[in-house]
Structure 1
Amino acid sequence: MSQSPTQALAPGEIVLKKVRAVASWKFDGQDVCAICRNQLVEPCVECLASPAAADECKIAWGTCMHPYHFHCIRKWLKTRECCPIDNTTWEYQSVGILH
C-alpha cells in the first residue's frame, strides 16, 4: 500500500525509496561448451581427435553472450540457426583463442 509523504509510519514500518541492482560475472575456467560438454579452456572434441589442431581451438561468443567452441557451434549451425541455450537467432559477436 502506498503512503503519502505526510502520513506517519507505524513503528517498525520501512519505506523502500530506491533499489539499485548490481551483478557481476567472472570467467573462472569452469565454463563448459553446452554442445560437446568439454571445458572451454580445453580443446573441443574435434580438436582432441586431431592434436595438431588442438593448439588453435577457438571460442565463439554469440551476441547472446553464450560461448562455445568454434568447431562445435559451426557444426550446430549447419542444422539449426539458433543458440543451443536460449534459442535466439545465432549471431557471432567474436571468435578468439581462450587458452
Structure 2
Amino acid sequence: MKVKILRILLDRWHAVAAWTWDAQDETCGICRMAFDGCCPDCKFPGDDCPLIWGACNHAFHLHCILKWVNSQTPQPHCPMCRREWQFKA
C-alpha cells in the first residue's frame, strides 16, 4: 500500500488574533466604558489606553484612575471599595 504525500507551497499567510484584558470586571468602574474598548480620552484601544490594577485588585483605565487619584485629597481611595489607593506592584 502506497501513501501519497501532498505538499503545498504557501504564497501568503494572513494571521488574525484577538486579545482581551484579564480583569474581573468588563467595564471601568470610573467611566463605565468596556475594557476591550478605551476610555473617553482615547480614540483607539490598546497600548495607549492600558488597564491599571490597584493593590485591592480593582482595574481601571490608566487615564481614568490618574484623573481620579489627582482629584482626591489628601489620600486617594479606590473608587470601588474605598480602600486607600495604591498601584499594584
TM-score in same-fold range (> 0.5)? yes
Contact 1:29-1:40 within 8 A present in 2 as well: no
Equivalent residues, number:
64
* Paired position in structure 1 for 2:80: 85
Query: Which structure carries more helix by proportion?
Result: 1
Question: In the alignment, what sits opposite 2:39?
Answer: 44
- SS of the equivalent of 1:46 reads coil
Q: Quick one: structure 1 residues 30 and 85, their matched pair in 2 at CA, closer, same or farther if it must change by over 3 Å?
A: closer
Q: Partners of 1:88 and 1:61 in 2: how far apart?
A: 13
Distance 2:30 2:57 in 1: 15
- Provide the TM-score with structure 2 as the length reference: 0.63
Which residue does 1:19 correspond to in 2? none
Relative to the length of structure 1, the TM-score reads 0.57
Q: Please give the residue correspondences for 1:10-25 in structure 2 after superposition, counting only pairs within 5 Å.
A: none
Cα distance change on mapping 1:63 and 1:29 into 2, 3 Å: closer
CA contact 2:55–2:88 (8 Å) conserved in 1: yes
- When you count strand as a share of all residues, which structure comes out higher? 1
Q: Percent identity?
A: 31
1:31 and 2:23 matched: no
**CA-CA distance at 1:67 after TM superposition:** 0.3
| Structure 2 CA distance for aligned equivalents of residues 87 and 38 of structure 1 | 20
- Radius of gyration: which is bigger? 1
Structure 2 segments unaligned to the other structure (5+ residues): 1-21
1:41 shift after superposition: 1.3
Q: Counterparts of 2:87 and 2:59 in 1: how far apart (Å)?
A: 10
